Amino acid sequence: MKAETSVPVHEIIQNRRSPRSFNEAAKISREDLIAILEAARWAPSAFNGQPWRFYVGQRGDEVFSQILSSLGEFNQSWAKAASALILVAGKTTRGDGSPHADYQYDCGLAAAQLVFETHHRGMIAHQMTGFNRDVAHKVLTMDADTTAVVVIAIGVQDSHEKLSGPLQERELAPRSRLPLNEIVVKGLPN
């Protein structure tokens, strides 16, 4: 379902969504994978600090299994069919040892750019925080100053009929957002 907006917005904003039905036979090309990582790399960040670090797994390889093992049971049940699982982690300290106060914000921006490039390339992306950060830290042997922020499942969308029960219901559920007049606290144009 397309996003309903009061005035037109970019088609990626309008059409992007977070499906859970992934084509379990689809592979991601090197070109697509590099492009979505480039999109993330070119995100803006506070003081150009670039605290993001990426752990990239493709279905069938070791990193994919490691990231998958950190996901909660519900997320594992559908994300295992993704072509790639990308874990975005952040450096919590700068090179001089001072805290990287904005690392989560910066990682969110990188993830957003990664998601938009994915959709631009005709694939789908589904972000998850339903995973165990400690498990991810351990299985991916992250540095002590690195914290997992989000996991993103990337792949090719499949029919909702491939899902069953509550998963299929969620796939078909209408998408909704709070209205602008609830989220713009002051200054919404008439």
Give residues in contact with ligand FMN (CB under 6 A): 17-18, 75, 127-130, 150, 175
Rounded Cα distance between 161 and 106, Å, is: 36
**Which residue, 49 or 130, is less far from ligand FMN as judged by CB?**
130
**Which residue, 138 or 175, is less far from ligand FMN as judged by CB?**
175
Q: How far is the CB of 71 from ligand FMN (least distance, A)?
A: 8
Residue 72 DSSP label? -
Q: Pick from 73, 48, 99, 91: which is nearest to 166 by CA?
A: 73
Contact 153, 85 (CB under 8 A): yes
**Nearest residue by C-beta to ligand FMN?**
130
Q: How far is the CB of 19 from ligand FMN (least distance, A)?
A: 7
Q: How far is the CB of 114 from ligand FMN (least distance, A)?
A: 12
Contact 79, 71 (CB under 8 A): yes
Location of structure tokens 């921006």: 109
**Which residue, 144 or 173, is less far from ligand FMN as judged by CB?**
173
- Tokens for 120? 């631009």
Q: How far is the CB of 14 from ligand FMN (least distance, A)?
A: 11
**Which residue, 13 or 101, is less far from ligand FMN as judged by CB?**
13
Element spanning 52, H or E: strand 52-58
